[in-house]
Amino acid sequence: MTLVPWVVMLLCVSLPRAQGLIFSEIYVVSDEHSSVNLTCPMAFSGPLTWTHGDQPLDSDNAQVQGHNLILNDIWHGEYSCWNGERKLGSVYLLEALKEDGAGGTDSSISCWAKSYDCIITCIWTNSEFSTVRLGLGHACTHGQENCTWVYPATNLQNKGFHFNLSHSLSPYTEEITPLVVTAEAINEFKYLRKTKRFYLRDIVQPDSPTVVTCLMNGENLEVKVEPPTTWNSPPSYFPLEHQIAYILKDNGEEKHSMELHIPKYVSKVRVRSRDPLVPSAWSQWTPWKNIIGDKKDKRNKGKYIIRCNAGGKKGNKTKSRPAMSANH
């Protein structure tokens, strides 16, 4: 990560230290400033003193003027204002870090969607920062006041933060411009801002489908698969193609098939799915399903039915969705 020593961030914080840093007013101070002016966040009319961390400030490098602290030498971290033994509040002087690489390839942010509906899931994986927020759209990218920042839905402990973002794209129209996610991250000494650009179709990964039934039909085993409940409907407009993995009984070899008809002498099956029109990433495999028992199913013309999980829903028919190019 590249440091930019001539740019700093001033972050005003009013919550107790134990709750971690929060985002508030941010001021950018560039190298053209020979000093930095900090203001005590609590209104107070008496005399003030300041500390940097738990150390008193050197009067040669800092001057107190009313509620303000003027720093001649910049040291990052927490500055606290005091009235005697009473701590009035803190401000944090943060060093801005330069964003590395292209915004579309940043490894700190990974995003995916279970379908073409309005929710995107993102994970921030850089554990160096204690507080992170994400914003979707150009208002956040350009730091505008109408940006709607989203805070983590889940703290993944030492593995990062989990976010749910909402977008307004229609699943029935092709995307013209990419989505832009902006991230701001802070700790006690540093500030980092990153952007990530992508098309929704390029991050779609369906949930695992459902294996409904397995039917013996002559020398074949017919596997019936239903899309996940989180996938868009109707399936005739939002199709999924399925890949079946199966284990042969005679030698234990694993085979794969894009057809729903597989050899009948198998011991296990599992399935995964993807959107064939993009094509999207494959879903996770379903758990292995043991092929157990056989009995005739009167509703399926006397074919032998194998015990498998049941589930899934049928969709209504409509016109086919046009294929979408993933190359932009």
Overall domain count for the chain: 3
Task: Using alpha carbons, list the distances in angstroms from residue 47 to 44, 85, 249.
Answer: 8, 12, 85
What pLDDT shows up at residue 23? 74
Q: Flag whether 230 is in a domain.
A: yes
Task: Using alpha carbons, list the distances in angstroms from residue 164 to 121, 133, 199, 276.
Answer: 5, 11, 17, 26
Say whether both 167 and 219 belong to one domain.
Answer: no
What pLDDT shows up at residue 6? 39
Mean pLDDT across the chain? 79
CATH classification at residue 118:
2.60.40.10
With contact defined as beta carbons under 8 Å apart, do 87 and 79 qualify? no
* Torsion sign across C-alpha atoms 250, 255, 257, 260: positive
Q: Flag whether 321 is in a domain.
A: no
Q: Flag whether 312 is in a domain.
A: no
Domain boundary among 153, 180, 203: 203
Task: Identify which has the larger pLDDT, 274 or 2.
Answer: 274
Q: Which of 16-20, 105-109, 248-252 is predicted with the least confidence, judged by mean pLDDT?
A: 16-20
Q: Flag whether 325 is in a domain.
A: no
User: Phi-psi category of 157—alpha, beta or left, where left has phi over 0 and alpha has psi -120 to 50?
Assistant: left
- Say whether pTM exceeds 0.75: no
Q: Flag whether 262 is in a domain.
A: yes
> How many Å apart are CA 173 and CA 261, to the nearest integer?
34
* Mean pLDDT for the stretch of residues 176-200: 90
Say whether both 143 and 214 belong to one domain.
Answer: no
Say whether both 181 and 221 belong to one domain.
Answer: no
Say whether both 120 and 58 belong to one domain.
Answer: no
CATH classification at residue 17:
2.60.40
Q: Flag whether 328 is in a domain.
A: no
Domain carrying residue 69:
3-97
Whether the predicted pLDDT of 297 surpasses 60: no
Say whether both 120 and 53 belong to one domain.
Answer: no
Q: Flag whether 43 is in a domain.
A: yes
Say whether both 108 and 141 belong to one domain.
Answer: yes
Q: Flag whether 313 is in a domain.
A: no
Tens digit of pLDDT for each residue in 87-112? 998 888 888 887 664 444 467 899 99
- Tokens at 68, concatenated: 């303000």
Task: Identify which has the larger pLDDT, 259 or 309.
Answer: 259
**Can you list the pairs that 193-199 forms with residues at least 24 positions away whose Cβ atoms lie under 8 Å?**
193/96, 193/99, 194/99, 194/103, 194/106, 194/108, 194/109, 195/99, 195/103, 195/106, 195/141, 196/103, 196/104, 196/106, 196/109, 196/111, 197/103, 197/104, 198/104, 198/111, 199/175, 199/326, 199/328
Domain boundary among 171, 203, 235: 203
Q: Which of 32-36, 123-127, 282-286 is predicted with the least confidence, judged by mean pLDDT?
A: 32-36
Say whether both 287 and 267 belong to one domain.
Answer: yes
Tens digit of pLDDT for each residue in 142-181? 888 899 999 988 877 767 899 999 999 988 888 899 999 9
Whether the predicted pLDDT of 28 surpasses 60: no
> How many Å apart are CA 328 and CA 322, to the nearest integer?
17
185's enclosing H/E stretch is strand 179-186
> How many Å apart are CA 186 and CA 95, to the nearest integer?
9
